[in-house]
Structure 1
Amino acid sequence: MTDHGPTREELPFPDYDHLPITGLAHRIRSLDLAQLRVVIEYEEAHARRVPALQVLQTRASELEAGAEPSGGDPSALAPELSPAPSAGSSVSPATAPGPDIPPTESDEAKPPMRG
């Protein structure tokens, strides 16, 4: 660790910076107290998000009071994280709609469809 807290590489799961607060409590349940303290130090040294610190410190208190880490892998794929966007676009002249065709007289004479 440095004077500026742990680095991202020292965190127990690699996607911590992109993890929403709503998923944080679930992802830290499998961490032991030492791992959780690394995350707390990282948060305090970097973003200092009050809601994140509250969740982390509450879990640390639970572990200090005798709670056991749950099973699971904190670095496993998280459903709350969307995949990275793919490069490029599927839009091209081949996928464009056909040319606009102006209405004919017979189209104008028809009453509008109601549904």
Structure 2
Amino acid sequence: MDLPDDTTPAPVTLELPIADYKHLPRISVEDRVGRLDQDGAEKVLRYEREHRDRTPVIQLLLARLRQLRISGGQAR
């Protein structure tokens, strides 16, 4: 699976598909990840790795990207 390039700068929070992401607790992020398309999940993953680095959120985003890869990249 192609993962976001770690050399690509993390997006700023205004560029993220989850509003007010910077202030959301993990459980709120988990509730929203299933609605992300591939581009959105990659942006949030880059931001999470760069700024918050919460292992459960990173694992959830990676699982979402695997799911999207199987389904052709479309959000449900």
Q: Same fold (TM over 0.5)?
A: yes
> Are 1:5 and 2:10 counterparts?
yes
Please, what TM-score do these two structures have when normalized by structure 1? 0.52
| Structure of larger gyration radius | 1
**What fraction of aligned residue pairs are identical, expressed as a percent?**
32
1:59 match: secondary structure:
helix
Quote the residue 2:24 is aligned against.
19
Q: 2:58 aligns with which of 28, 53, 59?
A: 53
Aligned partners of 1:11, 1:45: CA distance in 2, in Å?
13
1:13 Cα deviation after fit: 2.0
Report the structure, 1 or 2, having the larger helix content.
2
Q: Say how many residue pairs are matched.
A: 68
Contact kept, 8 Å, 1:5 with 1:42, in 2: the verdict is yes
Instruction: Please tell me the residue identity of whatever aligns with 2:75.
Output: P
RMSD: 1.7
